[in-house]
Protein backbone atom coordinates (compact mmCIF):
# COMPACT_ATOMS: atom_id res chain seq x y z
CA UNK A 1 0.00 0.00 0.00
CA UNK A 2 2.27 2.83 -1.12
CA UNK A 3 0.88 6.25 -1.73
CA UNK A 4 1.61 7.39 -5.24
CA UNK A 5 1.47 11.05 -4.31
CA UNK A 6 4.31 10.89 -1.87
CA UNK A 7 7.22 11.57 -4.12
CA UNK A 8 9.73 13.19 -1.89
CA UNK A 9 9.79 13.51 1.82
CA UNK A 10 12.11 16.46 2.11
CA UNK A 11 10.59 19.72 3.17
CA UNK A 12 11.98 21.95 0.51
CA UNK A 13 9.07 24.02 -0.80
CA UNK A 14 7.83 22.93 -4.18
CA UNK A 15 6.06 25.21 -6.63
CA UNK A 16 2.35 24.44 -6.78
CA UNK A 17 2.65 23.64 -10.45
CA UNK A 18 4.83 20.72 -9.44
CA UNK A 19 2.49 19.50 -6.74
CA UNK A 20 0.84 16.16 -7.30
CA UNK A 21 -2.44 17.65 -6.17
CA UNK A 22 -2.30 20.62 -8.49
CA UNK A 23 -5.63 19.66 -10.02
CA UNK A 24 -7.17 19.81 -6.61
CA UNK A 25 -5.82 23.20 -5.78
CA UNK A 26 -7.04 24.42 -9.11
CA UNK A 27 -10.42 23.33 -7.88
CA UNK A 28 -9.79 25.90 -5.21
CA UNK A 29 -10.62 28.39 -7.90
CA UNK A 30 -7.17 29.32 -9.03
CA UNK A 31 -6.99 28.70 -12.74
CA UNK A 32 -3.88 28.87 -14.90
CA UNK A 33 -3.15 32.58 -14.64
CA UNK A 34 -3.76 32.56 -10.93
CA UNK A 35 -1.14 29.93 -10.25
CA UNK A 36 1.29 32.55 -9.07
CA UNK A 37 -1.37 33.76 -6.68
CA UNK A 38 -1.74 30.25 -5.40
CA UNK A 39 1.95 29.94 -4.72
CA UNK A 40 1.77 33.08 -2.65
CA UNK A 41 -0.99 31.61 -0.53
CA UNK A 42 0.67 28.29 0.18
CA UNK A 43 2.90 28.61 3.17
CA UNK A 44 4.61 25.31 3.36
CA UNK A 45 4.26 21.64 2.83
CA UNK A 46 4.95 19.24 5.64
CA UNK A 47 4.97 15.55 6.38
CA UNK A 48 3.05 14.49 9.47
CA UNK A 49 3.73 11.16 11.07
CA UNK A 50 0.99 8.89 12.37
CA UNK A 51 -0.82 10.46 15.33
CA UNK A 52 0.78 13.86 14.85
CA UNK A 53 -1.61 16.79 15.00
CA UNK A 54 -2.16 19.22 12.17
CA UNK A 55 -3.99 21.50 14.57
CA UNK A 56 -5.85 21.50 17.85
CA UNK A 57 -9.31 22.70 18.80
CA UNK A 58 -9.27 26.24 20.11
CA UNK A 59 -5.92 27.10 18.57
CA UNK A 60 -5.87 30.33 16.58
CA UNK A 61 -6.79 29.33 13.05
CA UNK A 62 -4.30 30.82 10.66
CA UNK A 63 -4.20 28.18 7.99
CA UNK A 64 -6.31 25.85 6.01
CA UNK A 65 -4.76 22.48 5.26
CA UNK A 66 -4.80 20.71 1.91
CA UNK A 67 -4.05 17.04 2.26
CA UNK A 68 -1.71 15.80 -0.46
CA UNK A 69 -1.46 12.20 0.65
CA UNK A 70 -2.32 10.06 3.63
CA UNK A 71 -5.36 10.60 5.82
CA UNK A 72 -6.45 12.64 8.80
CA UNK A 73 -9.17 12.25 11.36
CA UNK A 74 -10.91 15.17 12.99
CA UNK A 75 -12.61 14.90 16.34
CA UNK A 76 -14.17 16.78 19.21
CA UNK A 77 -13.79 16.14 22.91
CA UNK A 78 -16.38 16.60 25.64
CA UNK A 79 -15.35 18.17 28.91
CA UNK A 80 -15.52 14.73 30.45
CA UNK A 81 -12.94 13.54 27.98
CA UNK A 82 -15.16 11.56 25.67
CA UNK A 83 -14.22 11.75 22.03
CA UNK A 84 -16.36 11.98 18.93
CA UNK A 85 -14.69 11.49 15.59
CA UNK A 86 -16.35 13.88 13.16
CA UNK A 87 -14.47 13.24 9.98
CA UNK A 88 -12.09 11.10 8.00
CA UNK A 89 -10.23 13.13 5.43
CA UNK A 90 -8.36 11.78 2.44
CA UNK A 91 -5.87 13.21 0.01
CA UNK A 92 -7.26 16.15 -1.89
CA UNK A 93 -9.43 17.49 0.88
CA UNK A 94 -9.35 20.78 2.70
CA UNK A 95 -9.27 20.96 6.48
CA UNK A 96 -9.93 23.73 8.95
CA UNK A 97 -12.57 25.66 7.07
CA UNK A 98 -14.73 26.04 10.18
CA UNK A 99 -12.00 28.22 11.64
CA UNK A 100 -13.08 30.94 9.27
CA UNK A 101 -15.51 32.61 11.56
CA UNK A 102 -14.10 32.57 15.02
CA UNK A 103 -10.50 32.39 13.97
CA UNK A 104 -10.01 29.28 16.03
CA UNK A 105 -10.06 25.66 14.95
CA UNK A 106 -13.20 23.88 16.01
CA UNK A 107 -11.73 20.40 16.32
CA UNK A 108 -8.60 18.35 16.57
CA UNK A 109 -6.99 17.14 13.36
CA UNK A 110 -4.68 14.16 13.70
CA UNK A 111 -2.82 12.21 11.06
CA UNK A 112 -3.92 8.59 10.85
CA UNK A 113 -0.81 7.58 8.94
CA UNK A 114 2.13 9.33 7.37
CA UNK A 115 0.49 12.29 5.73
CA UNK A 116 1.61 15.17 3.57
CA UNK A 117 -0.27 18.44 3.72
CA UNK A 118 0.09 22.03 2.55
CA UNK A 119 -0.72 24.98 4.76
CA UNK A 120 -2.65 27.74 3.04
CA UNK A 121 -2.62 31.05 4.82
CA UNK A 122 -6.15 32.08 5.68
CA UNK A 123 -5.32 35.75 5.59
CA UNK A 124 -3.78 35.50 2.17
CA UNK A 125 -6.55 33.25 1.01
CA UNK A 126 -9.01 35.98 1.87
CA UNK A 127 -6.87 38.50 0.03
CA UNK A 128 -6.83 36.20 -2.96
CA UNK A 129 -10.58 35.95 -2.77
CA UNK A 130 -10.82 39.70 -3.16
CA UNK A 131 -8.74 39.63 -6.32
CA UNK A 132 -10.17 36.48 -7.86
CA UNK A 133 -13.93 36.02 -7.45
CA UNK A 134 -13.53 32.38 -8.41
CA UNK A 135 -11.66 31.79 -5.18
CA UNK A 136 -14.48 33.29 -3.22
CA UNK A 137 -17.05 31.17 -4.95
CA UNK A 138 -14.97 28.07 -4.46
CA UNK A 139 -14.56 28.68 -0.74
CA UNK A 140 -18.29 28.96 -0.36
CA UNK A 141 -18.75 25.83 -2.38
CA UNK A 142 -16.37 23.83 -0.25
CA UNK A 143 -18.01 24.95 2.95
CA UNK A 144 -21.46 24.24 1.58
CA UNK A 145 -20.40 20.74 0.68
CA UNK A 146 -19.08 20.27 4.19
CA UNK A 147 -22.48 21.30 5.52
CA UNK A 148 -24.20 18.80 3.26
CA UNK A 149 -21.77 16.17 4.38
CA UNK A 150 -22.65 16.71 8.01
CA UNK A 151 -26.35 16.68 7.24
CA UNK A 152 -25.99 13.28 5.64
CA UNK A 153 -23.92 12.04 8.52
CA UNK A 154 -26.59 13.21 10.94
CA UNK A 155 -29.12 11.22 8.97
CA UNK A 156 -26.90 8.16 9.03
CA UNK A 157 -26.28 8.34 12.76
CA UNK A 158 -29.83 9.25 13.60
CA UNK A 159 -31.87 6.86 11.54
CA UNK A 160 -29.77 3.85 10.67
CA UNK A 161 -28.71 0.84 12.66
CA UNK A 162 -25.18 -0.37 13.19
CA UNK A 163 -25.19 -2.64 10.14
CA UNK A 164 -26.38 0.11 7.83
CA UNK A 165 -23.82 2.52 9.19
CA UNK A 166 -20.88 0.25 8.61
CA UNK A 167 -22.06 -0.68 5.14
CA UNK A 168 -22.51 2.99 4.27
CA UNK A 169 -19.09 3.75 5.67
CA UNK A 170 -17.41 1.13 3.52
CA UNK A 171 -19.29 2.19 0.41
CA UNK A 172 -18.53 5.85 0.89
CA UNK A 173 -14.89 5.10 1.43
CA UNK A 174 -14.81 2.91 -1.64
CA UNK A 175 -16.37 5.65 -3.71
CA UNK A 176 -14.02 8.32 -2.47
CA UNK A 177 -10.99 6.17 -3.12
CA UNK A 178 -12.24 5.38 -6.59
CA UNK A 179 -12.52 9.10 -7.29
CA UNK A 180 -8.86 9.35 -6.38
CA UNK A 181 -7.92 6.52 -8.73
CA UNK A 182 -7.48 3.95 -6.05
CA UNK A 183 -9.26 0.64 -6.21
CA UNK A 184 -12.92 0.75 -5.29
CA UNK A 185 -12.88 -2.76 -3.87
CA UNK A 186 -9.50 -3.12 -2.23
CA UNK A 187 -9.09 -0.73 0.60
CA UNK A 188 -6.84 -0.42 3.55
CA UNK A 189 -8.50 1.22 6.53
CA UNK A 190 -6.51 3.95 8.13
CA UNK A 191 -8.73 3.96 11.21
CA UNK A 192 -8.76 1.29 13.88
CA UNK A 193 -11.96 -0.59 14.79
CA UNK A 194 -12.30 1.71 17.74
CA UNK A 195 -12.02 4.84 15.64
CA UNK A 196 -14.47 3.56 13.06
CA UNK A 197 -16.91 2.66 15.79
CA UNK A 198 -16.53 6.02 17.41
CA UNK A 199 -17.10 7.77 14.11
CA UNK A 200 -20.21 5.73 13.42
CA UNK A 201 -21.56 5.92 16.93
CA UNK A 202 -21.20 2.21 17.69
CA UNK A 203 -18.88 0.23 19.93
CA UNK A 204 -15.59 -1.17 18.76
CA UNK A 205 -16.82 -4.68 19.49
CA UNK A 206 -19.88 -4.12 17.36
CA UNK A 207 -17.68 -3.13 14.45
CA UNK A 208 -15.77 -6.38 14.88
CA UNK A 209 -18.90 -8.46 14.99
CA UNK A 210 -20.31 -6.72 11.93
CA UNK A 211 -17.13 -7.27 9.94
CA UNK A 212 -17.33 -10.90 10.93
CA UNK A 213 -20.97 -11.13 9.88
CA UNK A 214 -20.39 -9.35 6.58
CA UNK A 215 -17.61 -11.81 5.90
CA UNK A 216 -19.78 -14.84 6.74
CA UNK A 217 -22.33 -13.50 4.27
CA UNK A 218 -19.69 -13.18 1.58
CA UNK A 219 -20.03 -9.43 1.35
CA UNK A 220 -16.45 -8.65 2.22
CA UNK A 221 -13.13 -10.26 2.96
CA UNK A 222 -11.56 -8.67 6.02
CA UNK A 223 -8.04 -9.18 7.19
CA UNK A 224 -7.17 -6.70 9.91
CA UNK A 225 -6.99 -3.26 8.27
CA UNK A 226 -7.32 -4.66 4.80
CA UNK A 227 -10.80 -4.99 3.35
CA UNK A 228 -11.94 -6.34 0.02
CA UNK A 229 -15.48 -5.48 -0.98
CA UNK A 230 -16.93 -8.49 -2.78
CA UNK A 231 -20.54 -7.49 -3.22
CA UNK A 232 -21.04 -3.78 -3.60
CA UNK A 233 -24.63 -4.23 -4.73
CA UNK A 234 -25.70 -6.11 -1.65
CA UNK A 235 -23.80 -3.71 0.57
CA UNK A 236 -25.81 -0.92 -0.99
CA UNK A 237 -29.03 -2.71 -0.21
CA UNK A 238 -27.96 -3.10 3.38
CA UNK A 239 -26.87 0.51 3.67
CA UNK A 240 -30.14 1.83 2.38
CA UNK A 241 -32.89 -0.49 3.40
CA UNK A 242 -33.34 -3.18 5.94
CA UNK A 243 -31.09 -6.20 5.62
CA UNK A 244 -31.50 -8.03 2.32
CA UNK A 245 -33.03 -11.51 2.35
CA UNK A 246 -30.40 -14.14 1.56
CA UNK A 247 -30.56 -14.53 -2.23
CA UNK A 248 -30.04 -18.31 -2.35
CA UNK A 249 -31.87 -21.22 -0.61
CA UNK A 250 -35.65 -21.29 -0.92
CA UNK A 251 -36.85 -17.73 -1.28
CA UNK A 252 -40.41 -17.64 0.00
CA UNK A 253 -43.12 -16.36 -2.36
CA UNK A 254 -43.06 -12.68 -3.08
CA UNK A 255 -40.13 -11.85 -0.86
CA UNK A 256 -37.74 -10.24 -3.30
CA UNK A 257 -35.96 -6.89 -3.15
CA UNK A 258 -36.71 -3.83 -1.11
CA UNK A 259 -40.30 -3.65 0.15
CA UNK A 260 -40.50 0.06 -0.58
CA UNK A 261 -41.56 1.66 -3.88
CA UNK A 262 -38.05 2.85 -4.54
CA UNK A 263 -35.99 4.21 -7.37
CA UNK A 264 -32.45 5.27 -8.29
CA UNK A 265 -29.64 3.12 -6.93
CA UNK A 266 -27.53 6.29 -6.73
CA UNK A 267 -24.39 6.93 -4.74
CA UNK A 268 -23.90 6.12 -1.07
CA UNK A 269 -24.44 9.72 -0.18
CA UNK A 270 -23.38 9.93 3.44
CA UNK A 271 -19.77 10.08 4.50
CA UNK A 272 -18.57 11.15 1.09
CA UNK A 273 -17.33 14.59 0.28
Q: Which does 192 bind (CB under 5 to 8 A by kind): DNA, a copy of itself, none?
A: DNA
Smallest distance from a copy of itself to CB 85, Å: 8
Binding status of residue 161 toward a copy of itself by CB under 8 A? no
Q: Which does 225 bind (CB under 5 to 8 A by kind): a copy of itself, DNA, none?
A: DNA
Smallest distance from DNA to CB 164, Å: 8
- Quote the CA–CA distance of 83 and 73 in Å, as a whole number: 12
Residue span 73-92 as binding mask against a copy of itself, x where in contact by CB under 8 A, dash where not: ---x-xxxxxxx-x------
Burial 122-137 (b: 16+ CB within 10 A, else e): beebeebbeebeebbe
When the beta carbons of 45 and 236 are compared against DNA, the nearer one is 236
What number of helices (H) and strands (E) belong to the chain?
A: 9, 11
For residue 220, what is the enclosing H or E element? Answer: strand 220-223
Residues that bind DNA (CB under 7 A): 161-163, 189, 192-194, 197, 201-209, 211-212, 222, 224-225
Smallest distance from a copy of itself to CB 140, Å: 5
Q: Using the rule CB under 8 A, give the single segment among 41-49, 220-228, 246-254, 258-266 that binds a copy of itself.
A: 258-266
Evaluate whether 103 touches 88 at the Cβ level (below 8 Å): no
Kindly state the number of chain residues that form the binding site for a copy of itself, as judged by CB under 8 A: 53
When the beta carbons of 79 and 224 are compared against a copy of itself, the nearer one is 79
- Quote the CA–CA distance of 135 and 139 in Å, as a whole number: 6
Torsion angle defined by CA atoms of residues 134, 153, 159 and 216, in that order, rounded to the nearest 10 degrees? 130
Smallest distance from a copy of itself to CB 144, Å: 4
Of 196, 194, 175, which Cα lies nearest the Cα of 184? 175
- Quote the CA–CA distance of 235 and 243 in Å, as a whole number: 9
Q: Using the rule CB under 8 A, give the single segment among 20-28, 127-135, 177-185, 186-194 that binds a copy of itself.
A: 127-135
93 vs 72, 180, 190, 257, CA distance in Å? 10, 11, 16, 36
- Quote the CA–CA distance of 190 and 187 in Å, as a whole number: 9
Q: Which does 228 bind (CB under 5 to 8 A by kind): DNA, a copy of itself, none?
A: none
Q: Exactly one of 145, 185, 206, 217 binds a copy of itself (CB under 8 A); which one?
A: 145
Binding status of residue 101 toward a copy of itself by CB under 8 A? yes
25 vs 38, 93, 162, 269, CA distance in Å? 8, 9, 36, 24
Binding status of residue 157 toward a copy of itself by CB under 8 A? yes
Which spans of this chain sit near a copy of itself (rule: CB under 8 A)? 76, 78-84, 86, 97-102, 106-107, 126, 129-130, 133, 136-137, 139-148, 150-155, 157-160, 198, 201, 240-242, 258, 260, 262-264
Amino acid sequence: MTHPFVRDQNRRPVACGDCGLYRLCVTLGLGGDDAVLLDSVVRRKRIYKRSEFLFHAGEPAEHVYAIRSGSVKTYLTTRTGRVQVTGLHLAGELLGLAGLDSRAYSCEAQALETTSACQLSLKQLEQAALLAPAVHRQMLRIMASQIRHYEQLLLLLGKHNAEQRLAAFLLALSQRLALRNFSATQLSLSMSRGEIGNYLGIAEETVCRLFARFQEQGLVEVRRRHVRLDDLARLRVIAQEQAAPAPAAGGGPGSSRPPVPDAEPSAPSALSH
